[in-house]
Amino acid sequence: MINKAVIHAFCGVLAASLAALQAPLYAQEIFQSERHNFQVIKVAGGLDHPWSLAFLPDGRMMVTERRGRLRLIENGKLVRKAVAGLPNNITSDGQGGLLDIVVHPNFAANRLVYLSYAGKRSGRVGTEVVRAVFTGDRLTNATVIFRALPKSSGGSHFGSRLLISDDGFVYITLGDRAERTSAQDLNDHRGSVIRLRVDGSVPRDNPFTANNEARPEIFTLGNRNVQGIALQPGSGLVWMHEHGPRGGDEINIVKAGANYGWPVVSYGINYDGSTISKQPTHPGVEPPVYYWVPSIAPSGMAFYDGDKFPNWRGNMLVGALKDRLLVRLEIEGRKIVHEERLLRRKLDRIRDVRQGPDGFIYLLNDSSRGGIYRLEPAD
């Protein structure tokens, strides 16, 4: 006969465990910042190296796992069954895998989602972007709207973040795939930011469409490995950040036809300590708005314009992999005037930062035991 006391005790433990998923992460710990105090709430766990987060109008969340799965969070719980219908050539070699996800601004009507990933073809790998319809628990009508060419070997520097701007363009950030000179070659997608229409066609006003020796999708060049891009509310400006080598992580404003200098110039040095450039500026190169030496390895970017943290409104939030922290940046015009570092080594490597439709801030940590975490004010 089953012992009722044992059952009662087990149920109590189970209830406490489920409650902990929506409980403050550090036993009521209040984190202090210069402008707001806050708590960290664990929304969901059980994720394998989560990379990107998107919110659906019905309250569900979609999360990419770098190993190649797309997951759903429903009513605060991770749905066990992964979303079906992803491309079958996703490879998680090195830094690659299933990467970013964004939903179309008119998702409620068209159900369109966009995903970037490292795609392998004929033994070589490059960043690709697929557009698909999400219905029920699967993707259908999947169409690849972009492939970075040429593909190459190795598992480094894929980018890749996606942004759909208010004027209906898709921005795709790409890394140089550790082949530096590609970032200065207009006949090579690697080391650039791409701009397309939402259907995948090339806008006629892209800066290099009249150059027969350039790939018309290219919008900027000289980028090393961009892993953050966001639209600034009110200004219409698109900002991005990218990994430097040893030092020299940069924040830039995306400008049509701009050359951001890699590998001609950098505020960083090579990993072996050798010099990249004697001067960090060069004629014809767009200087960074802001940079970090030493590197923080930034990943994920969001502007905050919600009502839950009014004293952070207008600030930029950036996750960091190397120093395992969240960076808050204050902006005046086109300048970053103040930096604050939060949550150092509390959540492991912060891979993505998003503002939810509820006005809270959501973070993903890049771990084999990864999760979604929500920042709530505690003033």
Residues noted as catalytic: 157
Measure the CA dihedral 136/359/168/118, to 10°.
Answer: -60
Strands 218-221 and 50-55: unpaired
Q: How many residues does the chain have?
A: 379
Detail the DSSP E strand segments found in 233-369: 238-242, 249-253, 290-292, 298-303, 316-320, 325-332, 335-342, 350-355, 361-365
SS3 annotation, 229-259: EEECCCCCCEEEEECCCECCEEEEECCCCCE
Between CA 317 and CA 359 the distance in angstroms is: 14
CB atoms closer than 10 angstroms to residue 141: 12
Nearest to 350 by CA among 331, 376, 329, 372: 372
Amino acid residing at 95: Q
CA 289 to chain centre: 19
